[in-house]
Structure 1
Amino acid sequence: MTKKEFLVELSNSLNKNQIADAQSYVADYSELIDDKVDNGQPVAEAIASLGPIEEIVSQIRKAEGIAARPKVIIERKQMRLSTKILLSILLVLGAPLWGPLLGVALVLLVLVYSLLWIAPFIAAVIGTSFIGAGGFGLIASLVAMIKATFAFGLFQLGMSLVLLGGGIFAIMLAWYLSKYFIIATVSLTKWLIKHFKQQKGVDYLA
């Protein structure tokens, strides 16, 4: 039995027995399995050491009846509290070290996001400039045909059309780059959230 199968079966059994805090118990057992695996115990052996699901549910039902959790859950809660206290102390003592590192990390993060968007921004600026210059050139070329020579006006008209074409191309490039960079930005943000936020105990059921 895999970890996911065990937890799904445990969740179903707890819900079937109308355990009010079912998901919290499931989360505790999920973390307990992870702890055993981190200590070098195989997943199957870690699951087997918890005992049959029927026995676990029966133990939880009895514990609910006396407003207390099973021993294994109590140990897990105590370990979690001790870990939080230790982490809090380390964070306070290590502030002079991790503070600047956090600042550097934030600067790098902003730099990454900026690099993602600098290409479409430049393309949009170039496209806008080319279209503006091309539009002005069209008007100027008509004036040149009348006021100056027809050949000069025709040359200016051609250059204006080239600028307009280049501007339209740059705007389209900026549009497509923005579309793909939005996807890249969302993916990067999701990756950061996934790796830095505290995982909830029910994530394994997704």
Structure 2
Amino acid sequence: MTKAEFLSELQQALSALPQSEIIKSLDYYEEIINDRMEEGISEEQAVGALGKTDAIAREILLDMGLLQLMKAKVKPNHRLKGWEIILLIAGSPVWAPLVLAFLAIVLAVYMTIWAVLISLWAAVAAIAVTGIMGLAASAFIFAQNPLSGLMVIGGAITCCGLAVFAFLGMRKLSVYLIRLTALFIRGVKSIFIQKGGRKNA
């Protein structure tokens, strides 16, 4: 495949995007091809090393913001005719609630993931504060009642130890949940990408 053919296919695969985004992507890949050709690689090899245009277009779309992608995919490829506008208006009692429900579900899942994460971090912070406050108060308690003071010190040290282990666990869990959120968003984006692909086919 030549550079011109590659760029033409990529442009077609990205046809749902704004023209400025298409030009930006085409310029980027054209520059990559030119750089490799300057290194002595043939045009066909430079193009072949990039992979298939469909896969490249998919990655470009997945890297876009969700709202930007939704706007690009929902936007019609042609100017709406009168009867199409009438159908959209007449069908709005059906499709509008479905779209709103879908967006609400996406938002709810996203917020739930982060609410769980924030709640768990708050619990870890509470354990740590309890341990620190216990250690600070243990000196006064120990002066009045050594046995109670020792119990407070033991409890405070236990809380501090739990806080350390919880912190290490939460750090790993946070990374996992962040990745899970990213996968969820990519999954939502994939729905729009596949929808657009079927529409363009």
TM-score by length of 2: 0.55
Q: Report the equivalent of 1:23.
A: 8
The answer to whether structure 1 residue 177 and structure 2 residue 162 are counterparts is: no
List gaps (5 residues or longer) in structure 1.
1-8, 29-79, 200-206
The answer to whether structure 1 residue 156 and structure 2 residue 141 are counterparts is: no
1:127/1:193 CA distance change after superposition, 3 Å: same
CA distance in 2, matches of 1:160, 1:181: 30
Is the CA contact (8 Å cut-off) linking 1:130 and 1:164 kept in structure 2? yes
Q: Report the equivalent of 1:131.
A: 128
Q: Report the equivalent of 1:112.
A: 109
CA distance in 2, matches of 1:98, 1:139: 61
CA distance in 2, matches of 1:25, 1:87: 29
Q: CA deviation at 1:87?
A: 6.0
Is the CA contact (8 Å cut-off) linking 1:120 and 1:175 kept in structure 2? no
CA distance in 2, matches of 1:105, 1:142: 57
Q: CA deviation at 1:140?
A: 0.8
Two-structure CA RMSD over aligned residues (Å) = 3.5
CA distance in 2, matches of 1:183, 1:101: 28
1:91 to 88, 113, 131: 88
CA deviations over 1:7-57 (Å, ceiling 9, x no partner):
xx4xx3x83xxx8x96169849xxxxxxxxxxxxxxxxxxxxxxxxxxxxx
Q: Report the equivalent of 2:184.
A: 188
| Partner SS, residue 94 of structure 1 | helix
Residue identity matched to 1:136: M
1:114/1:157 CA distance change after superposition, 3 Å: same
Is the CA contact (8 Å cut-off) linking 1:123 and 1:171 kept in structure 2? no
Q: CA deviation at 1:93?
A: 2.3
Identity among equivalent positions (%) equals 22
CA distance in 2, matches of 1:174, 1:22: 45
1:153/1:26 CA distance change after superposition, 3 Å: closer
CA distance in 1, matches of 2:146, 2:181: 51
Structure with greater Cα Rg: 1
2:138 to 141, 166, 169: 141
| Partner SS, residue 107 of structure 1 | helix
Residue identity matched to 1:115: T
Q: CA deviation at 1:130?
A: 0.9
Provide the aligned length of Structure 1 versus Structure 2.
134
TM-score by length of 1: 0.54
Residue identity matched to 1:131: A
Is the CA contact (8 Å cut-off) linking 1:119 and 1:177 kept in structure 2? no
